[in-house]
Amino acid sequence: MAARRAVEKQRVSVSVGVVASTSKGEHGQLLGDYGAFASIVANGLKGQADGNGDNFISSDELFDLLAADFKKRRITQTPQRFLPDATRPRLTKETREAVEKLLGYLTVPRIDESSLSTHYDYARFLQPKKPDVDIAYGLAQLKLGSTTDAQRVFENLARDHPKRLVPNHALAWQYFLQGNHDQSIAALTKLVNGLPKPLEGAEHDAYAQHVLQFAGVLRQFGVSALDTRLIFEKTKPLDTAIKQRADGAEAFFRTGVTAVRKTVDQLNQKLRNTTDPTEQAALRRDLRRLSFYTAFDFKVIAAAVRAGLER
C-alpha cells in the first residue's frame, strides 16, 4: 500500500485521473480472449462499477472494482491510480529556464564571472528566495574556483533550507579539502540522513548511489590515507547513519570504502617497491591527495538539481 500511495502522488495530469493496468515490472494477464484489465474496465463502464446506483461511475468506483475483481480472480497484477494534481508549480517556467542557464555554466571550459553574476541576478529577480537558484549559482562558483563565495552560499542554504541535499554535499567536499574533517563528517551525516528512502522494491536513484559512494570514499580517505588525523571515533555518526537506513545504502557506502582501501594498498605497495626519492615523494603526495581518489561530480549533481525543478 505504501508504494501505491507514493505512486498516486506523482503528477501525471492537472485535470484527468489515470488508472494504469499494472505496477512497474508487472505484465498484464489474460481473462478469456482479452486482457484482464480491459475486460474488467469494460464491464465496469457497462454498470458493474456503479456501486451506489447513481448512474455515474467515478474513478474511485472503477478502481475499487478492478482491485476487488483482481483479488477474487487471483490475478497477480496491481492496477495503479494517478490522481489529477492542479497544484501550482513551485517554480515558474521562466525561473526553471533561468536555473538551467546557471547550471549550463558547469559544462563550459571557462566561466565568465560577469555573465554568471548577470544571470544569477536575473534568476533571483524572477523568484526571490528560491533555493534552486542559489544552489545552481553556488555550484557555478565552485566550478569557477571561487571557493570562498561558494562556501558562503552553501552554508546559508544548509542553514535556511536544511532538507536540500546539494548544499551539504558541496560543503562536505569543501571542508575536507580544507582539512576541516569534523565539519565534513557532520555535513556527510546530514546528507546521508536526508536522502529519501527508495520505494519498496526499488533501488536508490543515481544521485543517492553517488552520494553514498562519495560518503564512503571521504570517510575512508580520512581514516586510511590521513592516518591519525581522522580517527575512527569521529566517523561513528556517519557509520551509524548508514547502518540505520537499512535500505541497501550500506552496500553503496562500502563500495566507496573498499575503493579507497584498494587504492591505498596499491600506493603503499608501490612505495615499498621503489627506492627512487622522486617517485616516493610523488606517491606520498598521491596518498594524501583527495582528488586522487574521487572528484566532485558536477554532472551527477546538476542532474539531481534539474530533476528537482519540476517538483
Each residue of 107-132: pLDDT tens digit?
Answer: 999 999 999 999 999 999 999 989 99
Give the model's pLDDT for residue 86: 64
Any idea what DSSP says for residue 162? T
CA distance 279 to 133: 45
CB neighbour class for 275 (10 Å; exposed up to 12, middle 13-18, buried from 19): exposed
8 A C-beta contact, residue 147 and residue 174: yes
Whole-number CA gyration radius for the chain: 26
pTM listed for this prediction: 0.73
Exposure of 194 in the CB half-sphere (CA atoms within 13 A):
19
Alpha carbon of 177 to those of 10, 26, 103, 304: distances in Å? 39, 47, 23, 23
Helix (H, G, I), strand (E, B) or coil at 202: coil
- C-alpha cell belonging to residue 93: 517556467
In this predicted structure, the answer to whether residue 19 has a pLDDT above a threshold of 80 is no
The answer to whether residues 101 and 66 belong to one domain is no
297 lies in some domain: yes
Mean pLDDT in the chain? 87
Residues in the chain, total: 311
Position of cell 574533517? 181
63 lies in some domain: yes
Where a domain ends, among 32, 56, 82? 82
The answer to whether residues 294 and 212 belong to one domain is yes
Backbone angles phi, psi at 5, to 5 degrees: -60, -40
254 lies in some domain: yes
**Residues of the domain holding 238:** 93-308
Where a domain ends, among 82, 101, 127? 82
- CA 1 from chain centre, in angstroms, equals 23
114 lies in some domain: yes
Range with the poorest average pLDDT among 40-44, 133-137, 297-301 = 40-44
CA distance 97 to 238: 36
Where a domain ends, among 21, 54, 82? 82
More confident residue, 228 or 168: 168
What per-residue string of b and e applies to 237-246 under the rule 16 or more CB within 10 Å gives b?
Answer: bbbebbeebe
Mean pLDDT, residues 191-216: 92
pLDDT tens digit sequence for 264-283: 999 999 999 999 999 999 99
